[in-house]
């Protein structure tokens, strides 16, 4: 070959290494958390949930797995990322996913009775029940605070400017939980205002909230609303109810309805609710309202819930080559040399074995490879006897 000519199809070892390093960097960005344990023992928590469509294809009983299991137990399967689901417990290795969990064995036939499943577990979303394809989806999707389903912007009626609202409560949830209609005065489309009681304030304690629950916008995935551009009421969100302040009526939004000026039904709200930034500060959090939301299993309406996320794995960002060299450096020198020699011997023996196939034009099958390693094991056993 003329040394001055070039071949565009030529790939050097440096090209391969750089490509692998780039892929490793991209993977580290997406899967940067530790995967050393299943989250089953954490119980029913708000966490990132994944559906394995290989193990539970559409038409079968749905199931969801935790962050660790979707990588360690279902890494080679077709996975649907569902983002955050509240009060969910990992199904890997249970009655819904009877295959063995590689991280933590569960009791045979165990059922997570408190888990809730919807069409998201078949990778379907919104009122239109469309299948989500990140490579084809053109619009933006918003997550309902209550049911945590995702809705296309094109399917949401009378939606305000995207920078004006923070959270969405879908029309179906308002219909199914009629007391949510009491939030209508906060709806940006209605443009109503509510005065806030600021006397005798007794704040309630709350866990540190993870604001990424419904306000994150992952690349190539359903997106939620932003949190900028909304104006909030002055004052704090907790106050005694009914209000004791003098002057005109000054009340917070009461989900229990005990201090509402008038009853409100779903007929007053015939569409989704678009809530402004920090809308929880406009909610009455007296004892009656707090007990009411607990009875409805919706404490997140008053206090933003904590989302459990995997601990960052510092090793995930390291290239495999670098991690391998570090492990090799930590191995005893004698054992390291013996390992290198063993690999060289194995490589030479395998090449000699495969050369006969090449010379005879034969196809190498799985049985041929199994036979090669079975012969190696037999020779090793005879040497040690």
Angle at 109 between CA 106 and CA 112, to 5 degrees: 75
Cα separation, 201 vs 280, in Å, equals 15
Evaluate whether 30 touches 221 at the Cβ level (below 8 Å).
no
The pTM (predicted TM-score) of the whole model is 0.65
Tens digits of residue pLDDT in 174-203: 999 999 999 999 999 875 444 444 333 333
Cα separation, 290 vs 254, in Å, equals 10
Nearest to 87 by CA among 107, 112, 68, 69: 112
Tens digits of residue pLDDT in 6-30: 455 566 666 665 666 565 555 555 5
Two tokens, residue 250: 């000054």
Angle at 136 between CA 148 and CA 309, to 5 degrees: 40
Locus of tokens 């899967």: 31
What are the mean pLDDT values of the chain's consecutive 10-residue runs (385 residues total)? 52 64 56 85 96 94 96 93 96 93 93 96 95 86 97 94 94 94 90 42 38 36 39 34 42 81 64 94 94 96 94 65 62 74 83 87 88 84 72
Instruction: Tell me what pLDDT residue 287 has.
Output: 94
């Amino acid at each position: 070959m003329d040394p001055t000519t070039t071949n565009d199809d030529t790939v050097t070892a440096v090209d391969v290494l750089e490509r692998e390093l780039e892929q490793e960097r991209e993977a580290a960005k997406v899967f940067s958390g530790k995967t050393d344990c299943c989250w089953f023992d954490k119980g029913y928590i708000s966490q990132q949930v994944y559906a394995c469509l290989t193990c539970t294809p559409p038409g079968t009983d749905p199931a969801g797995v935790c962050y660790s299991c979707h990588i360690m137990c279902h890494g080679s399967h077709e996975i649907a990322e569902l983002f955050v689901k509240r009060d969910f417990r990992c199904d890997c290795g249970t009655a819904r996913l009877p295959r063995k969990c590689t991280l933590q064995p569960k009791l045979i036939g165990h059922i997570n009775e408190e888990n809730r499943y919807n069409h998201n577990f078949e990778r379907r979303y919104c009122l239109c029940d469309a299948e989500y394809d990140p490579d084809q989806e053109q619009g933006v999707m918003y997550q309902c605070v209550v049911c945590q389903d995702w809705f296309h912007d094109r399917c949401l009626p009378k939606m305000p400017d995207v920078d004006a609202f923070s959270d969405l409560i879908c029309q179906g949830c308002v219909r199914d939980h009629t007391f949510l209609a009491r939030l209508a005065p906060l709806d940006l489309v209605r443009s109503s205002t509510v005065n806030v009681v600021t006397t005798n304030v007794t704040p309630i304690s709350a866990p540190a909230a993870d604001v990424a629950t419904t306000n994150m916008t992952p690349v190539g995935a359903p997106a939620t609303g932003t949190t900028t551009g909304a104006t909030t009421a002055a004052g704090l969100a907790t106050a005694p109810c009914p209000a004791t302040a003098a002057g005109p009526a000054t009340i917070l939004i009461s989900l229990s309805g005990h201090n509402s000026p008038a009853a409100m039904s779903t007929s007053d709200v015939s569409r989704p609710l678009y809530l402004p930034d920090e809308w929880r500060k406009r909610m009455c959090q007296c004892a009656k309202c707090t007990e009411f939301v607990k009875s409805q299993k919706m404490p997140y309406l008053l206090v933003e819930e904590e989302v459990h996320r995997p601990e960052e794995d510092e090793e995930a960002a390291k290239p495999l080559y670098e991690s391998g060299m570090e492990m090799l450096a930590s191995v005893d020198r004698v054992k390291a040399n013996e390992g290198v020699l063993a690999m060289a011997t194995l490589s030479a023996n395998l090449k000699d074995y495969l050369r006969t196939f090449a010379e005879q034009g034969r196809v190498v099958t799985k049985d041929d490879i199994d036979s090669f390693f079975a012969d190696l094991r037999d020779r090793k056993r005879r040497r040690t006897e």
